[in-house]
Amino acid sequence: MAKHIFWGIIPALFIFFAFIGLNIGPLLFLTLIGGLAFYLTEKKGGIPGLHQEIKKKNHIVGKTIVTFEDIGGLERTKQELKEALDFLIHSEEMKEYGIRPLKGILMDGPPGTGKTLLAKAAADYTGSVFVASSGSEFIEMYVGVGAQRVRDLFKEAKTLAKKQQKNSAIIFIDEIDVIGGKRDANSQREYDQTLNQLLTEMDGIQSRDQPQILVIAATNRKDMLDPALLRPGRFDRHILVDLPDKNARKKILEIHTSNKPLASDVDLNQIAIETYQFSGAQLESVANEAAIYAMRDKSKEIKSKHFSSAIDKVIMGEQMDRTASQQEKRRVAIHELGHAIVAENVKPGSISQVALRPRGQALGYVRHNPQEEQYLHTRESLEQQIMIALGGSVAEEIFYGHRSTGSKNDFEQALNLVNYLIDTGLTSLGIVNTNYISKDKLEKESNEILNLLLQKTSNLLQSHKEVIVKALEHLENEEVLSGNEFREMIRQLSNETMISQIG
């Protein structure tokens, strides 16, 4: 009310001063400057550099509706987190045993694996107030601002818990590596002050404090964090939140499709197999994109083909309108069929689809269908992956006598796999430190491996040249070749070859 009266008096004063003949120009200029400063203070979070006018950026959620049952898969992770949270729930029992409170839990894992959801579910599990912020929100160019925001974050958590009559509060800091990176002589003073303040606040958490504070942080770069954060007494529990396995992917898909009309031909188990190494966020996107494709087709149900298109979109991007010449499309088809034939021979049943449709930066693609989760690799399995990567360029050489620039990424993948073979001691060099091996020796070993696998790939594709020709005709007409159709072509031509040899 006072603010409105103030802005009403100002124009009246200017009219009065002008009426009595005073020069109002300087006064008008000063008023504009003052008004601008007031606007910055009230609307933009304050004049930078003044702590009393710092804008509070922290996002506060007073009540979460996410439970552990809402999160598909991650059973081991959820159990490990629950065990850590039980210290917060049974705080009185802890005091009897003289156990100090758990101050922090660090969740480490790839993006999109559900770290934020787990933190919200933790608040629901413990009946705590939930206060969330991101590491990037603490970073400012002005010294001391980040540290002040850390103090405000802890103060807000305690105030909100008391207001809601809660015994505990969970503070969730996402991207903690932004403020918790390793300190050195070249680190910025503002970053150091922010981190120091966080360490101070965590050190100040005591068992007798009411409400009890628990800090949960998330990162996908744990190796970047300062050792002071990782030591016991600060982040006491380190929990890995990894990519879901096949069973977990199926559970996540069941959650995200529970409100969607699925057709009878949709097999979530098969979709879980085809989405190997997808994160929870990507699986949610697959379910959503499949529904969008069904809506585009004006279909009352979401069909298997819609999920297939959705998986392709998440992996490769949206289908493009880019139009290639017939000659270029033919080369792309031969290239992709080269990959597919090698893959189907070294890993039978692994091809899900071969497509001659531009998506993202690719003019065509092969979607592989992993049969089982694989965490360890032998030399044979890595050589098979190298052969699959080389299959496209070798097929081009067989039909055209030369390669194209479309093999660039394939060669990069093959070279990375060869280097991995050397680094893991799976070559004739044995267990070596590559820093102590001459460059010439490493190049010689790499070339020998690549040349041997190029020859094996060429022999394999030469023996399946007829399959490429037949599949090429199908691709040019239909643009898509399913894995089952492709395997049937290989089987038929193999039977015909055997019959002709017997005859």
Alpha-carbon torsion, ordered 482, 487, 490, 492, to 10 deg: -100
Alpha-carbon torsion, ordered 395, 398, 399, 403, to 10 deg: 70
Q: Are residues 278 and 165 in the same domain?
A: no
Q: What integer pLDDT is reported at residue 448 of this predicted model?
A: 95
Q: What integer pLDDT is reported at residue 254 of this predicted model?
A: 92
With helix as H, strand as E and coil as C, how does 176-237 read? HHHCCECCCCCCCHHHHHHHHHHHHHHHCCCCCCCCEEEEEEEECCHHHECHHHHCCCCCCE
Task: Scan for tokens 């991101």, then name that residue.
Answer: 134
Rounded Cα–Cα distance for residues 176 and 171 (Å): 12
The three-state secondary structure class of 371 is: coil
Q: Are residues 441 and 427 in the same domain?
A: yes
Contact, 114 vs 241, CB < 8 A?
Answer: yes
Q: Are residues 331 and 436 in the same domain?
A: yes
> Of the residues 257, 282, 316, which one is the last residue of a structural domain?
316
Phi, psi dihedral angles at 30 (to 5 degrees): -65, -35
Rounded Cα–Cα distance for residues 341 and 464 (Å): 8
Measured from the Cβ of residue 456, the count of other Cβ atoms closer than 10 Å reads 18
pLDDT digits (tens, 9 = 90+) for 99-118: 777 889 999 999 989 899 99
Work out whether strand 237-240 and strand 59-61 pair parallel, antiparallel, or are unpaired.
Answer: unpaired
Q: Are residues 293 and 335 in the same domain?
A: no
Joined tokens for residue 88: 């917060």
Q: Are residues 263 and 383 in the same domain?
A: no
Joined tokens for residue 95: 């005091």
The CATH number that applies at residue 494 is: 1.20.58.760
Q: Are residues 137 and 81 in the same domain?
A: yes
CB-based contacts of 222, cutoff 8 Å, min separation 6: 106, 108, 177, 230, 238
Contact, 463 vs 448, CB < 8 A?
Answer: no
Whole domain around residue 157: which residue ranges? 59-240
Measured from the Cβ of residue 431, the count of other Cβ atoms closer than 10 Å reads 9
Amino acid at 57: K
> Of the residues 200, 225, 240, which one is the last residue of a structural domain?
240
Amino acid at 72: G
Q: What integer pLDDT is reported at residue 99 of this predicted model?
A: 78
Q: Is residue 428 part of a domain?
A: yes
Q: Is residue 54 part of a domain?
A: no
Q: Are residues 214 and 257 in the same domain?
A: no
The CATH number that applies at residue 119 is: 3.40.50.300
| pTM over the 0.85 mark | no
Q: Is residue 381 part of a domain?
A: yes
Q: Is residue 164 part of a domain?
A: yes
Q: What integer pLDDT is reported at residue 55 of this predicted model?
A: 39
| Parts of the chain with a pLDDT under 50 | 2, 41-63
Q: Are residues 226 and 359 in the same domain?
A: no
Rounded Cα–Cα distance for residues 353 and 496 (Å): 24
Q: Is residue 300 part of a domain?
A: yes
Q: What integer pLDDT is reported at residue 478 of this predicted model?
A: 85
336 catalytic per annotation: yes
First to last CA, the chain: 102
Q: Are residues 79 and 219 in the same domain?
A: yes
Burial environment of residue 281 by CB neighbours within 10 A (0 to 12, 13 to 18, 19 or more): middle
Rounded Cα–Cα distance for residues 135 and 226 (Å): 14
Q: Are residues 252 and 235 in the same domain?
A: no
Rounded Cα–Cα distance for residues 250 and 272 (Å): 5
Rounded Cα–Cα distance for residues 42 and 452 (Å): 71
Q: Is residue 39 part of a domain?
A: no
Q: What integer pLDDT is reported at residue 52 of this predicted model?
A: 36
Q: Where are the alpha helices (DSSP H) in 21-60?
A: 25-43
Crossing angle, helix 439-462 and helix 465-478, to 10 degrees?
A: 80
> Of the residues 240, 267, 298, which one is the last residue of a structural domain?
240
Q: Is residue 12 part of a domain?
A: no
Rounded Cα–Cα distance for residues 82 and 88 (Å): 10
Task: Scan for tokens 């990069």, then name that residue.
Answer: 412
pLDDT digits (tens, 9 = 90+) for 361-415: 677 788 887 656 667 889 999 999 999 999 999 999 999 999 888 888 899 999 9
Q: Where are the alpha helices (DSSP H) in 44-168?
A: 75-89, 91-96, 115-126, 145-163
Q: Are residues 142 and 196 in the same domain?
A: yes
Structural Rg of the chain based on CA atoms: 31
HSE of 138 in the Cβ direction (CA atoms, 13 Å)?
Answer: 30
Crossing angle, helix 379-400 and helix 326-346, to 10 degrees?
A: 150
Joined tokens for residue 464: 């399946």
Rounded Cα–Cα distance for residues 151 and 370 (Å): 49
- Number of structural domains (the chain) is 3
DSSP state of 425: T
Contact, 179 vs 198, CB < 8 A?
Answer: yes
Q: What integer pLDDT is reported at residue 29 of this predicted model?
A: 61
Joined tokens for residue 130: 């939930």
Q: Is residue 34 part of a domain?
A: no
Q: Are residues 222 and 115 in the same domain?
A: yes
Spatial strand order of the sheet with 365-368 comes to 365-368, 351-355, 480-482
From the list 156, 274, 336, 344, the catalytic residue is 336
The CATH number that applies at residue 290 is: 1.10.8.60
Q: What integer pLDDT is reported at residue 302 of this predicted model?
A: 95
